[in-house]
Homo-oligomer: A and B are copies of this chain.
Amino acid sequence: MKPLPRQGKTFPNGESFATLCSKLGDLMQRLTSGAQTLYEGIRHLPIVSPHGHCDPEWFAQNSAFSNAAELLVIPDHYVFRMLYSQGVSLEDLGIGHAADPREVFRIFAKHWHLFLGTPSRMWISHVLQETLGIMTSLGADTADMIYDQIGEKLARDDHRPRALFDRFNIAALATTDSALDSLEHHQRVKDSAWSGRVIPTFRPDGVLDPDDPDFAENIRALAKLTQTDISDFSGYLAALRQRRAAFRDMGATATDHAIEVIWTEWLEDPDTLWPRVQSGAASAQDRIRFYGHMLIEMAQMSLDDGLVMQIHAGSKRNTNAHVMARFGRDKGADIPVQTDWVRGLEALLNRVGNRADFTLILFTLDEATYARTLAPMAGHWPCLRIGPPWWFHDSPAGIARYFDQVVETAGYYNLAGFNDDTRAFLSIPARHDLWRRAVALHLAQQVSDGAFDVSDATHLAQELAVGLAQDAYRLGR
């Protein structure tokens, strides 16, 4: 953005902005016509969703979703954090205690303008128009009507989870599940006549990180669940292997780690440290070193069982003590911090990073690491792939910065395609659609800049929309 040219820009006053915009639109139309064509070529491809937070119970039970508030507002921390930042109380939004869902939806509709310019507004607009067929624009005056229209839709069988899954043309959807999860819901989906591919992802931090508040309880549960004696370190590793196998049997192709400060370290004698860790007697430093060691153990297990490893690093969780105490985790107070991927992954990479049969996908919230760190690292280490823009950066400008900063050094084939990473099931098509539009615009720009030709762009569009994700997550083409 630059200031308007200062001279020779007098404009016919009589002309309406609408007319101007249609001219502008006409121009943008031509500018983006290449992008439009690339987009048309990928917009209807199946959705591959290799990482996200949908609840498998939805697909096991296949019950109708309740109402607009419980579907679009209450579970979406992107939405209520913004309302909270402008003085709306979380209680009034039905968070932490009961509230009339219609009233919650009214508050949301009344504050719809707060979301101008945010991806939340684009996703929700897409859900309302494309998925729920709401043609009225949202506002205080239309809140009740729209609430009722959504209610009617949700009551219909063709709006139950499995029906929407099929209608969304989802080829595969991975959930994220605790290492201690019984996987019963996934079992039910598997046993059902329904053919939808819903698979778990192994999320073991609760049984790996001694700083997890529930660590002691978790490892006891791990021992019980696996019927393994974990009093010595080898037993602990065996129990973890057993859980990984259970996840793999249920279709899992990947693991996931959520870490605030990334640190890996290979310990020569983890077995001597283990008893102190287990008993809670380990020092703060030893707890960090132990977790750093376990990340490498996980990477080594991946070499054996083929599960792709994901690391989501750099979010300082629950920075608002009052909100944490009153409402619990995931209430919009997680703030990104700087991430030192080079030193943090040094030990892990130097142990297993030269293995091309190992895949480690990295997700960052620190965009300063795109060009400086992640692209050079992914452009060297055989195991590394760069995950798509994550969380706050999964947006038009965020995606543009990502392509701008990673592609020239990492190329396209060191990227892991797209993840929607959402617990908002209805927004999945909207998120993939936004990605595909951004991909099309990026590639059309590359063509017009002479970086490569149309056939390359057409192929890359397919890869970025579906292929790279299928390969990176070993989901098959």
Q: Which residues of A contact B (CB under 8 A)?
A: 1-9, 11, 13, 17-18, 20-21, 23-25, 27-40, 81-82, 84-87, 113-119, 121-122, 316, 319-323, 332-338, 340, 342, 346, 349-350, 353-354, 356, 365-368, 371-373, 375-382, 384, 392-393, 395-401, 403-405, 407-414, 433-434, 437-438, 440-442, 444-452, 454, 456, 458, 460
Contact = CB atoms under 8 A, between A and B. Distances in A.
26 contacts: A4-B32, A5-B28, A17-B458, A21-B34, A23-B33, A24-B444, A25-B448, A82-B411, A85-B380, A85-B381, A85-B382, A86-B413, A86-B414, A116-B451, A116-B460, A117-B446, A117-B452, A118-B408, A320-B380, A335-B376, A368-B368, A376-B392, A396-B408, A397-B405, A397-B407, A401-B405
- Tell which of A17, A316, A442, A460 has the most Cβ of chain B within 10 Å: A17
Give chain A's interface secondary structure class. Answer: helix
A356 B444 CA distance: 45
Contacts of A25: 5, 8-9, 448
Nearest to A435: B3
Copies in the complex: 3
Contacts of A17: 34, 37-38, 454, 458
A399 B375 CA distance: 16
Given A33-B24, A371-B392, A408-B397, A320 B354 contact: yes
Contact of A1 (B21, B39, B400): B400
Contacts of A395: 408-409
A16 to B, nearest CB: 9
Nearest to A452: B116
Given A4-B36, A24-B447, A375-B392, 6 more contacts: A3-B434, A27-B31, A82-B379, A117-B451, A334-B376, A371-B398
A-B CB proximity, top 9 nearest = A1-B400, A2-B449, A87-B356, A5-B450, A3-B437, A2-B396, A395-B408, A117-B407, A20-B33
Nearest to A4: B437
